[in-house]
Amino acid sequence: MSNDAKSGTDGQWPLWEVFTQAKSGAPHEHAGSVHAPDAEIALQNARDVYARRGEAVSIWVVPTAVIAATSPSDTGPFFDPASDKAYRHPQFYKVPQGVRVF
Amino acid sequence: MTPSNVAQPAADDPIRVAAFEGRIAAGETIEPKDWMPERYRKQLIRMMSQHAHSEVVGMLPEGNWITRAPSLRRKMSLLAKVQDEGGHGLYIYCGTETLGVDRHDLIDQLLSGTAKYSSIFNYPTLTWADMGAIGWLVDGAAIVNQTVLAKCSYGPYARAMLRICKEENFHKRQGYEIMATLSKGTPAQKAMAQDALNRWWWPSLMMFGPSDKDSPHSAELLRWKVKRKSNDELRQRFVDLTVPQAHAIALVLPDPDLKHNTDTNHWEIGPINWDEFFNVIKGNGPCNRERLEARRRAHAEGAWVRQAAEAYAAKQRGRAQSTAA
Ligand SMILES: [Fe+2]
Ligand SMILES: [Fe+2]
C-alpha cells in the first residue's frame, strides 16, 4: 500500500464544467464540475455525481479551461450599452387607452 | 472557475472591504470571481473543505454495515445513501475549488491527517441500529445545518447545499424507519435501538459546535452571512424537531434534565460534555486512527481504477490522432 497520493498517475485530472438538462425542451444549466482524464469519463462522472435521481436527460461537459467569461470588474462598462435603451422594451410605447395590444 | 481566474487581491483595502460588506448586507451573493477579503476566502476554504472531508469520511461508519444489512431493501438504501455522501463530498470539493484551491491538495491534507472533519464520524458503529441512529440523528442534524447554509453568502457553497438538502431527506427517513421498525420489534431489537440512541444523541448535539460564546469564528461568519444562525439556535431547532420524533417511536432520550418549557415552547436539554467533544477533535476519539487508515487504504486500493482511466483516455487520444493523420 502506498500513501503517497502524488505518486505515479495519481495526479489531478483536468476540470470539466457540467451542464444538465432537466427535461427535453429545457435549457442546459450549470450543475457543477468534475475532474476527469477525458470527455467520455467526464460524462460518466457527471452522470454519477449530478444525475443519480433522474435529474437530467442530457449532459454537456466542457473543459473549464476553454470557457471565456466576463469579469466582475468590467461588468459595468461591458453591459452598459444596454442600460440606456428603454426603447427596446414594450413599456416605452404608448397605446390608446382601452386597447388590448396582446 | 479555474484557480487562475480567481481575483488575487493584495492586502485588503478597507474601501473594498466596506463595499464587499455593503454587498453582503444588501443580500447579494458573492461569486468566485468577485473581489472578497482574504479572510472571507480563507474562512470559506476552511469551512467548505472540512465539510467536504466530513462527507467523505462519513461514508466509512456506514460503509461498515453494507454487507451486514438485514435485508436487500435495507442494503439497497444504505448503499444509495453512502453513494450520496460521496457525491456530497464531490459537490463541496468542487465548490471549494472555485476559491482557488486544488482538490488534490485538499485530499492530500485529509489523507495525511492534517485536515479536520466532523468529530461525529470518529464514533464506532457497533450494531445495525447505529445505521438507524445515524440516518435519523446525524443526517437530521446535518439537514438543520445545511438548510441554513443553503442561504449563505457564497454562491457555489449555497448551490451545493441546495442540491445536498434535496438528498438528505431520504437519508433521514431511512434511518428513522430503521429505528421505528426496531422499536416495534422484539425486546432485544428495541433495546438495540435504545442503546444506539443513547450513544448517538449527545455526539449529534455536539455536531452544531460549541456554544457561540465559546466558538472562535462565529461572530465574523455571521456578519459575512457565511453562517446565518448561531450554533445554539441550530441545536435548539434540532432538539425541538427530534424530541417528538423519539416519543413517537417510544424511545427515551438519554437526558434526565430534558424538559419542555411551556413558556417558550422549546425543549431544554441538560449540560453538554464539551470536554469529550474537544478530546475527540484533538484526535482522541474512539475511531480517529481507524477512519484515516480506512480512507488511505480505500485511496490506495482505488489507484488501479485511476490508472486504468488514464490509460484508456491516452489510448482514445492515440486513436483519434491516428485516424486524423
Ligand atoms: Fe451528506
Ligand atoms: Fe446524508
Q: Which CATH number goes with the domain that contains A58?
A: 3.10.20.520
Q: For the residues B289-317, what does the mean pLDDT come to?
A: 92
Evaluate if residue B8 carries a pLDDT over 80: no
Evaluate if residue A7 carries a pLDDT over 80: no
> A25-34, A85-94, B234-243: which has the minimum mean pLDDT?
A85-94
Beta-bridged to residue B154, according to DSSP, are B30
Catalogue the E-assigned strands of chain B.
259-261, 266-268
Separation of CA B46 and ligand 2 centre (Å)? 20
- Ligand in nearest proximity to the CA of B140: 2
**Could you tell me where the DSSP H helices lie in B134-283?**
139-149, 155-183, 187-206, 218-223, 231-248, 274-279
Q: What are the tens digits of pLDDT across the range B142-153?
A: 999 999 999 999
Do residue A53 and residue B5 have CB atoms under 8 angstroms apart? no
pLDDT at B325: 65
pLDDT at A3: 38
pLDDT at B320: 85
Q: For the residues B151-170, what does the mean pLDDT come to?
A: 94
Separation of CA B87 and ligand 1 centre (Å)? 8
Q: Does A63 fall in a domain? A: yes
Do residue B108 and residue A6 have CB atoms under 8 angstroms apart? yes
Q: Does A29 fall in a domain? A: yes
Q: Does A42 fall in a domain? A: yes
Q: Does A56 fall in a domain? A: yes
pLDDT at B181: 98
Chain B residues within 8 A of A1 when measuring between CB atoms: 296-297, 300-301
Chain B residues within 8 A of A67 when measuring between CB atoms: 1
Query: Quick one: how many helices (H) and strands (E) in chain A?
Result: 2, 3
Residue tagged 497520493 (cell numbers): A5
Q: Which residues of B238-256 are buried (b: 16+ CB within 10 A; e: fewer)?
A: bbeebbebbeebebebebe
How many domains does chain A contain in total? 1
Q: How far is CA B110 from CA B50, B76, B103, in A?
A: 9, 28, 11
Q: Does A43 fall in a domain? A: yes
pLDDT at A5: 38
Which residues of A sit within 8 Å Cβ distance of B? 1-3, 5-6, 8-13, 15, 17, 32-38, 40-41, 48-49, 52-53, 64-65, 67, 69, 71-72
**Which chain B residue lies closest to A52 (C-alpha atoms)?**
B84
Strands A58-63 and B266-268: unpaired
**Which chain B residue lies closest to A75 (C-alpha atoms)?**
B34
Where residue B286 falls among pLDDT bands split at 50, 70, 90? confident
Where residue A10 falls among pLDDT bands split at 50, 70, 90? low
Q: Name residue B270's amino acid.
A: G
Q: Does A23 fall in a domain? A: yes
Do residue A33 and residue B306 have CB atoms under 8 angstroms apart? no
- Ligand in nearest proximity to the CA of B168: 2
| A82 or A97, which is more confident | A97
Q: Does A48 fall in a domain? A: yes
Chain B residues within 8 A of A76 when measuring between CB atoms: none
Q: How many Å apart are CA B165 and CA B143, to the nearest integer?
A: 6
Q: What are the tens digits of pLDDT across the range B201-226?
A: 999 999 999 888 777 777 888 999 99
- pTM value is 0.89
Q: What are the tens digits of pLDDT across the range B49-91?
A: 999 999 999 999 999 899 999 999 999 999 999 999 999 999 9
- Ligand in nearest proximity to the CA of B91: 1
Chain B residues within 8 A of A36 when measuring between CB atoms: 309
Where residue A59 falls among pLDDT bands split at 50, 70, 90? very high
State the residue range of the domain holding A62: 3-68
Q: Does A8 fall in a domain? A: yes
pLDDT at B284: 82
Q: Name residue A67's amino acid.
A: I
